[in-house]
Amino acid sequence: MTINSTPQEPPSITGQIGAGGKRVLDSIVNLLASLRVHPNILTLIGMVINIFAMILFAEGIFIWGALVILFAGIFDIVDGEVARRTKRVTKFGAFFDSVIDRYSDLLLLLGLIIWYAKINRIFYVGLTGLVLIGSVLTSYTRARAESLIPACKVGFLERPERIVLLIIGGVTDRMAAVLWVMAILSNWTVSQRIWYTWRELRTSMWFQRLFLCAYSRITNDWADSLGGFAPPSGARRLARGTFFAYPWANLLARLRRAQTHIFRTRTSFGSLRLKTDSGILGLILTSENFRIM
């Protein structure tokens, strides 16, 4: 029996480099894990190394500054892996790592601002400041958006891309050109996240309204058996802007009369669920867009 086998292509140069780098990083992670080094210590070491890069940038020594950033990046990579290997993954660790990363980013840009101020290149001081603003708002818009929607990862220029651009600018000694790219793309990323969040919230709001209107129509006959009276002001505010405003408000008012409790709860998305409380049907509506109490 003849077995046909296709010859495997030899790995590319980039593949060999990647595999070699992975082996080196695995060795470093294994060593640090065996020494039981705390991941937060590694995070702090990375920031301290970036302080040296800031000093080099402030002196205009861009090439060495870029190499120091590259070295600091090793600690930024291994701290999370060491945390997983030593079973020290915590929510605080993720928070701490994110905060220290922001410090490192701002320190590097501060070094560039100091350098351009020394040589009286005021325009590039302002340009670097614009990059700094974009870097801060890129992180802030995502954090703020994800308190309202499940995820906001749109946009091209996040932290890894910014670090790579700084390294390229330092190694090639073309930092001014890199700053132009970072200033445009970082603030463009902010605008993308603002637009995405607005669109997601608007879609969520209309979905909730459509659901509530459909629910009010379906249960209208059942609600009529509870007896009617004028809907309260909270219900009128809830129903404002819907296509079937009064049926929903009337339903809500009648459910209230049947000892239904409506709780005000801040959540990212509205949700509707039914529960039994001492034999009384309770309707709990949680929504960021509809607050009625």
Query: Catalytic site residues?
Result: 101
- CA dist., res. 58 & res. 100, Å (int): 20
Under 8 Å between Cβ of 255 and 231: no
- CA dist., res. 67 & res. 173, Å (int): 12
Residue 183: other Cβ atoms inside 10 A? 21
- CA dist., res. 194 & res. 154, Å (int): 10
| Distance from the Cα of residue 67 to its chain's centroid | 28
Q: Which two tokens stand for residue 150?
A: 């499940």
Q: Which two tokens stand for residue 83?
A: 């945390």
Instruction: Tell me the sheet residues that pair with 284.
Output: 273
Under 8 Å between Cβ of 74 and 128: no
- CA dist., res. 28 & res. 34, Å (int): 10
